[in-house]
Amino acid sequence: MNKKHIMYTAVSSVLLSSSLLLHSIDATAAESAKVTATSLNVRATPSTSGAVVGKITKGNTVNIVDESNGWAKITYNGKEAWISSQYINKTQTNSTSTANSTSKSAVVNASSLNVRSSASTSASILTNLPRNSKVTVLKESGSWSQIKTASGQTGWVASQYLQAGSASSAPAKDSGSTTSKSATVNASSLNVRSSASTSASIVTNLSRNSKVTVLKESGSWSQIKTASGQTGWVASQYLQADSGQSSQTAQSIQITKASNLRTQPSLSAGIIRVAKAGERFKKVSEANDWVQIQYSASQTAWVSKGLTAAAGSTTSASLPSPSAALKDKIIVVDAGHGGYDPGTSGKSSIEKNLALTTAKLVASRLANAGANVFMTRSNDTFISLSGRVNVSEAKHADAFISIHYNASTSSSANGIASFYYSEAKDKELAKYIQESMAENAPSMKDMGVRFGDYYVTRENNQRAVLLELGFLSNAHDEQIVSSNAYQQQISTGIYQGIARYFAANK
């Protein structure tokens, strides 16, 4: 990871010690947090286009004065400055806080509840809890509660979506609604887990079109019985009810007009982003005139029902198909590293080789859909970072896709992520690709869309994203990403994400 960070990140100055960087501020307004990024840019304004006034290294503590739309205000060298909230971890609230300390058990009574880094709808989302999740309430402040999940993670939730109840780290055997219906797996490969959690052990794996019986539903999970008689839990969004049966979780909806995707079913709720006409999502539930959708593998969102239609309806049929949207688009596919630059490596895998395998599969799918595809390298050749960007700009690429595999000093780090540099130019494409990858490769942790200061995206005048497709430093990830099944899944996800982006932005 460190090698890759040095290679792709512009390091222009020696970092100052934390004693010079961090200054104390008013105790009544500050909240402490630790920097989780290797090197975090400090900016003059809350924007990725804001001037970089310094950097703070991993592990340093900062005092948060205020937060707004994913940015945290701090005092830096005696002046007001901003850092990205997604790269900090709140440690504790100052003792002068008006919050009331408590310790009681509670149960989530919403279909899906966002856990945030601070008591604000604009704060970054740490995780998402399904209905009936057990939590411990640590503190209350106004309409917010600081909670601790069964896995030990802490964060803030809206108090109205908690119901007093007994806490337990074990899954509730009787929670959820009992049912008995037939369904078919509609994912390329679906993990069956021992309990309703992505951290639960994998019991088995089902291929597309496998038949199952749904025994119980709980939040966004379904307890199923396989044809061989094995029982376990799966994500409901990857099941499709057999004909003659209805299932909200398996239904897809399509956005008919530009719509705000919100954190809760209310016009006053925070906006995650604006969805464009043509975007498709899995439907989770309905409440009054709102539809709850699966926004990503780990997050749900709400949209006004009047701005949606069932996928495949007359309303949505007039929208361009993904394949039609790709016709004549110029796509540059960049396989990271190569030649004497191997990238990172695992026990049996080398990044440059895996990246090239994935890149070729993605390029083939795009070309078959009518896109004009160019690869920065098609064999084991070293290409400089500037050389890769030159290809993108010389071809006037509609999209530049850089493919990589990740590494970390922590062997537990795992998952897939999409990185952008420019919010205006790149971020939306990154979102489409990340959502599609998570949908097609459910066995991998969805790390979401993140800002990344990489040369090939920073110096690129064309629309560009960088994808990290799994950690070779993690034995489980390495085993998955080395398989042919995963290569087919992830390349399909990347292709579909690009296609959906251009379908919605035709």
Query: In this predicted structure, what is the pLDDT of residue 111?
Result: 60
Q: What average pLDDT score do residues 461-472 get?
A: 97
Q: Are 446 and 297 in contact (CB under 8 A)?
A: yes
Of 497, 419, 489, 490, which is closest to residue 460 (Cα–Cα)? 419
Confidence of residue 7 (pLDDT cuts 50, 70, 90): very low
Q: Distance between CA 115 and CA 151 in Å, rounded?
A: 13
Q: What does pLDDT average to over the chain? A: 78
Contact (Cβ atoms closer than 8 angstroms) between residue 212 and residue 206? yes
Give the model's pLDDT for residue 218.
73
Rounded-to-integer distance, Cα 249 and Cα 236, Å: 6
- Span of 18-22, 243-247, 382-386 with lowest mean pLDDT: 18-22
* Residues 148-169 pLDDT 10s: 887 778 888 877 677 776 433 3
Q: Is 70 exceeded by the pLDDT of residue 224?
A: yes
pLDDT at 129: 78
**Which of 80-94, 116-130, 455-469 is predicted with the least confidence, judged by mean pLDDT?**
80-94
Q: What pLDDT does 429 receive?
A: 94
pLDDT of residue 357: 96
The listed range with the strongest mean pLDDT (166-180, 192-206, 370-384) is: 370-384
pLDDT value of position 313: 52
SS (H, E, C) 384-406: CHHHHHHHHHHCCCCEEEEEEEE
Round to whole Å and give the CA distance between 196 and 222: 8
pLDDT at 367: 92
**How sure is the predictor about 386, in pLDDT bands with cuts at 50, 70 and 90?**
very high
Q: What is the pLDDT of residue 22?
A: 36
Lowest mean pLDDT, pick from 57-71, 147-161, 441-455: 57-71
* Whether pLDDT at 311 is above 70: no
Mean pLDDT throughout 210-231? Answer: 81
For residues 107 and 294, give the distance between their C-alpha atoms in angstroms, rounded to a whole number.
21
| 11-to-20, 92, 106, 174 alpha-carbon distances in Å | 19, 31, 46, 54
Q: How sure is the predictor about 403, in pLDDT bands with cuts at 50, 70 and 90? A: very high
Rounded to whole angstroms, the Cα distance separating 359 from 494 reads: 10
* Residues 241-259, mean pLDDT to the nearest whole number: 62
For the sheet containing 330-335, what is the strand order? Answer: 372-375, 330-335, 399-406, 464-471, 416-420, 446-451
DSSP 490: H
Higher pLDDT, 96 or 376: 376
Q: What is the pLDDT of residue 112?
A: 67
Distances in whole angstroms, Cα of residue 195 to Cα of each of 200, 314, 320, 334: 6, 39, 40, 39
For the segment 332-370, what is each residue's pLDDT rounded down to a tens digit?
999 999 999 999 999 999 999 999 999 999 999 999 889
For the cut 60, the answer to whether the pLDDT of residue 467 exceeds it is yes
Selected residue with higher pLDDT from 440 and 67: 440
Alpha-carbon distance of 55 to 407, in angstroms, equals 22
Query: Which of 144-158, 244-258, 485-499 is most confident?
Result: 485-499
| Chain centroid to CA 209 | 26
In SS3 terms, 407-475 reads as CCCCCCCCCEEEEECCCCCCHHHHHHHHHHHHHHCCCCCEEEEEECCCHHHHCCCCCEEEEEEEECCCH
Give the pair of three-digit tokens for residue 506: 């035709």
Helices 484-504 & 427-440, crossing angle to 10 degrees?
A: 140
The C-alpha atoms of residue 48 and residue 41 are separated, in whole angstroms, by 9
Give kind and range of the element (H or E) at residue 89.
Answer: strand 88-93
Average pLDDT over every residue of 299-321? 68
Tell me the range of 240-249, 266-275, 475-484 where mean pLDDT is highest: 475-484
pLDDT tens-digit profile of 256-302?
777 888 888 887 788 888 787 777 788 888 877 788 888 775 678 88
Extract the tokens encoding 182: 């037939």
Residue 374 pLDDT grade (very low, low, confident, very high; cuts 50, 70, 90): very high
| Spatial distance between the Cα atoms of 231 and 2, rounded to a whole number of angstroms | 42
Q: What is the pLDDT of residue 268?
A: 77
Q: Model confidence at 5, in pLDDT bands (50, 70, 90)?
A: very low
**Higher-scoring residue by pLDDT: 171, 42:** 42
Q: Residue 372 has what pLDDT?
A: 95
pLDDT band at 245 (very low <50, low <70, confident <90, very high): very low
CB atoms within 10 A of CB 506: 13
pLDDT over 60 (residue 41): yes
- Report the alpha-carbon distance of residue 392 to residue 386 in Å, rounded: 10
Residue 210 predicted with pLDDT over 90? no
DSSP code per residue over 36-51: -SSEEEEESSSSTTSP
Both tokens assigned to 334: 């960049």
- Please give the pLDDT value at position 93: 40
pLDDT (0 to 100) of residue 276: 77
pTM of the complete model: 0.46
Q: Compute the average pLDDT of residues 31-49.
A: 79
Whether the Cβ atoms of residue 69 and residue 427 lie closer than 8 Å to each other:
no
First to last CA, the chain: 37
The phi, psi pair for 437, rounded to 5°, reads -65, -45
Which domains, ranges and CATH numbers included, belong to the chain? Answer: 13-93 (2.30.30.40), 100-164 (2.30.30.40), 177-249 (2.30.30.40), 251-317 (2.30.30.40), 323-504 (3.40.630.40)
Checking if the pLDDT of 1 tops 50, the result is no
Residue 178: pLDDT over 70: no
Q: How confident is the model at residue 395 (pLDDT cuts 50, 70, 90)?
A: very high
Q: Is the pLDDT of residue 408 over 70?
A: yes
pLDDT of residue 84: 84
Q: What is the C-alpha separation between 221 and 445, in angstroms, rounded?
A: 16
